[in-house]
A and B are shown apart, each in its own frame.
Chain A
Amino acid sequence: MIENLRTEVEQICKSCGNDRTKMMDIVRQVQEKFGQVSSEAMDVISQSVNCTRVEVESVVSFYAFLSKTSKGKVVIRLCNDVVDKMAGLTPVAEAFKKELGIDFGQTTPDGKITLEYTPCIGMCDQAPAALVNDEVVTYLSTDKVKELVADIRKHYDPNKLKHRLGDGNNATDLVHSCVHNGIRKKGRVIFSEYKQEAGLRNALAVSPVEVINEVKNARLRGRGGAGFPTGMKWQFTRAAEGTKKYILCNADEGEPGTFKDRVILTERADMLFEGMTIGGYAIGAESGILYLRGEYAYLRKLLEKVLKDRRDKNLLGKDILGRKGFNFDISIQMGAGAYICGEETALISSCEGLRGDPKTRPPFPAQKGYMGCPSAVNNVETLCCVARILEMGAAWFAEVGSKGSPSTKLLSVSGDCRLPGVYEFPFGIKVSDLLKEVGADDAQAVLVGGPSGQIIGPNDYKRTICYDDLATGGAVVVFGPERDMVKIAAEYMDFFVEESCGYCTPCRVGNVLLKKYLDKILDGKGEPSDLDFLKSLGESIKLTSRCGLGQTSPNPVLTTLKNFRSAYESKVKPAENKFQPTFDIKKAVAVHESIANRKSVIFTE
């Protein structure tokens, strides 16, 4: 068995060129083959790619989809995002436990099925949802869980699961998924009819600098949320010294409540790759990498096929579309379950086969990115916009939208609304208008931009969605009147605690503290001073954290404290006695009581 493992792991390493920077591909394949990356496998990998064993372990232990200990042939990962909880996660979770006879984090005694929780898998509009290995199952109910588990037990092969098919490309053999796109509103940029490759042809007819100027004229800003001007990013990358350059597409859509890139990847892959090719031409790159989150592995075959077709049509490869000297190709790098890899420098670390730790800045990726080469990292939607800008022109692109935020934005709407799904709206739309459109008449609160964004209340519904007011990468989650906003904040903090890379003190420790204090308040043991404490701690985390994750992680707490103060105030009260409310003296003396074999005479009931 051990010898068999050695041979097979060596074979996997060899197929990856025994290249240490291909570590993600290696460990993913080993995980898939053996259900774990065992200690023995780590030894073999380290010998094959010439690194230390602990370096392999540092990677394996970082990503949620990789494990040192053995997992079942089938791993069920039930999404425990806030939206799934609102959609009835608890009975579904109980049904899984009952049907499988195990708890979360366990494997069935026959070693065949593992049950786990996982954060947002990008299916909030069809929650509760789960992953069964790479396959997605949606709209789960207790009955459906029963059928699903029975189905899995027939063959233990997620590919053979019986389910209806979703719409569009979800129904193709390449995807064969029950996921449905949920496109509710088609805007002019992403989901309207377009002339495929016209943008690329126009780009190749002019110089790279002119392409960058066109993108600048369109005033395109990054659609991932941060809103950095794309043209400027490309200009820096183009100007940076280095013979090799890279364009990376961030398809690690992990912000809870965001699923718009899922739909682009399903229905507009050509547009995305066209935009990426234009980007490669603009910055002077010969290689592009699509970093695809592990949760979207079910789309990989489709994306690979689109790439192959593009190579066949000379839309990728050498002298693209007859443009002499423009060689460009795109590869796919799979992630393995880490929200932090959506941070651009962490994404680069992951592509390099490392832990998904963000890098020290400066240097910025435009100067020293992937493998130390100048790199541009762009969001999926941003690159689609590029294709349309080059097709239709900067003026057309900026015709709609608001002053500082031209054109449209995809919003993924979920939560307490009648019409969850993907909407393409011009920037500048009022929150109240959006709520009307999505069928949310009595929203108590709206999360704009995911938990790293803001949770606003009705006083702010007159505000607009754009870079200068309420910026968002696309997530909009609606909370109805019956939701407890302190609990929602605490649940989002669970997410950040779990997804912190652990590199810097404030994010690693501070978020755990925020969560502890929220739990204390929810437990009825909060004091009024705890609210100032949360604010002060949250501000320290914001100011001192090393990357965007940490700098925004206290937002669920800070924005609810600001906008839903009364929800907190109704839960805290001054301590009744000199003891801290969290200190349970009865519990503290219990051990000693058992040793002394008598009850305390002072601390009685």
Chain B
Amino acid sequence: MSDQITFTIDGVEVKAKPGQTIMQAADDAGIYIPRLCYHPELTAHGSCRVCTVIVNGKPQTACTQPAAEGMIVENDTPELLEHRRNLVDMLFVEGNHLCMFCERSGNCELQAMAYRLGILAPKYPYFYPDKPVDSTHKDIFLELNRCILCGRCVNASKDVDGKGVFDFVGRSIDKKIAVNSDKNLKDTTMAVTDKAAQVCPVGSINKKGTAFKIPYGSDIEHKK
């Protein structure tokens, strides 16, 4: 058996190592597949569905689907662009994403993805959730109205930090992140140096005292 897998993404031949997902192989090959919940250092969550690609005619998420010999992957197609826009739209209206007032503006993966997909304003009606903000921790504040339920903090805290500070509670549209305490974040073992504090793609887990320090235009997402 060969130790290399060959398949195509939009007709371009891509090589993958056994065990790699489509996403990993695409990243190695310099082909970009849009994504939101995916983080290269964490277990793939597969919840945002933005990296949905068509594999041999069937929809699969690139972050969870292992690369296989000869598979034909469609990624950059008008149909998928439309579905991805719809998904990002959904994430926008589900939360309160008021970019112009948000300290993560310019450093937010959701915002960057909206720009990338050409979304100027969501076409769906806003839900305006009203979840309490938790600013009890001395170094971190939680703003769950901006959470996209990507699961990065959950996995980072469990698998990297070994703490389990976060988990999901509730279900359906009421599903949300909760902390490992009956009270607040300050009552958990969370530290600002935790991996869980570094991986939030949006403005949900924020380090205090860092907002607006970097001028717009020179921040991470603009540099990309």
Contact = CB atoms under 8 A, between A and B. Distances in A.
Nearest to A38: B182
Nearest to B94: A509
B47 A505 contact: yes
Contacts of B149: 502-503, 505, 508
B172 interface: yes
B215 interface: no
Interface stretch (A2-10, A240-248, A535-543): A535-543
B59 interface: yes
A501 B167 contact: no
Contacts, number: 124
Contact of B178 (A57, A499, A501): A57
Interface in B27-51: 44, 46-50
Interface string B44-68: 1011111010000001010011100
Given A53-B180, A543-B52, A58 B173 contact: no
A536 B86 contact: yes
Interface string A195-226: 00000000000000000000000000000000
A542 B208 CA distance: 40
A360 B178 CA distance: 22
A543 B86 CA distance: 12
A503 B167 CA distance: 12
A498 interface: yes
A497 interface: yes
B169 interface: yes
Interface in A507-542: 508-510, 512-513, 516, 536-537, 540
A516 B178 CA distance: 27
A61 interface: yes
A505 B90 contact: yes
A183 interface: no
Interface residues of B, number: 42
A582 B175 CA distance: 27
B52 A54 contact: no
Contacts of A540: 82-83, 86-87
B83 A543 contact: yes
Given A53-B182, A500-B172, A509 B93 contact: yes
A537 B171 CA distance: 21
Nearest to A510: B90
Contacts of B217: none
Contact of A52 (B50, B52, B164): B164
B175 to A, nearest CB: 3
A506 interface: yes
A499 B175 CA distance: 11
A52 B190 CA distance: 13
Nearest to A61: B169
A467 interface: no
B175 A502 contact: yes
Given A355-B168, A543-B59, A543-B83, A513 B48 contact: no
- The SS class assigned to the A binding surface is helix
B181 interface: yes
Contacts of B170: 61-62, 502
Contacts of B165: 54
Contacts of A338: 171
Given A53-B181, A53-B182, A57-B167, A544 B172 contact: no
Contact of B46 (A54, A497, A546): A546
A3 B102 CA distance: 46
B132 interface: no
Q: Which of A497, A509, A536 has the most CB of B within 10 A?
A: A509
A508 B148 CA distance: 11
B179 interface: yes
Contact of B87 (A51, A360, A499, A505): A505
A393 B175 CA distance: 49
Contacts of A544: 49, 52, 59, 83, 87
A505 B91 contact: yes
Interface in B112-129: 124-125, 127
Contacts of B172: 497-502, 508
B3 interface: no
A545 interface: yes
Contacts of B47: 503-505, 546
B130 interface: no
Contacts of A53: 180-182
In this complex, which of B47, B65, B93, B178 has the most chain A Cβ atoms within 10 angstroms of its Cβ?
B47
Given A53-B181, A505-B91, A536-B86, A58 B169 contact: yes
Contact of A505 (B44, B49, B65, B178): B49
A58 B168 contact: yes
Contacts of B181: 53-54
A574 interface: no
Contacts of B83: 540, 543-544
B7 interface: no
A39 interface: yes
Given A516-B125, A544-B59, A502 B171 contact: yes
B166 interface: yes
10 contacts: A53-B182, A54-B179, A55-B167, A58-B169, A355-B168, A508-B175, A509-B90, A509-B91, A509-B93, A546-B61
Given A54-B180, A502-B175, A540-B86, 9 more contacts: A52-B164, A52-B167, A53-B182, A54-B169, A54-B178, A340-B171, A362-B66, A502-B172, A543-B83
Closest 8 CB pairs of A and B: A502-B175, A509-B90, A52-B164, A54-B180, A61-B169, A54-B167, A540-B86, A544-B49
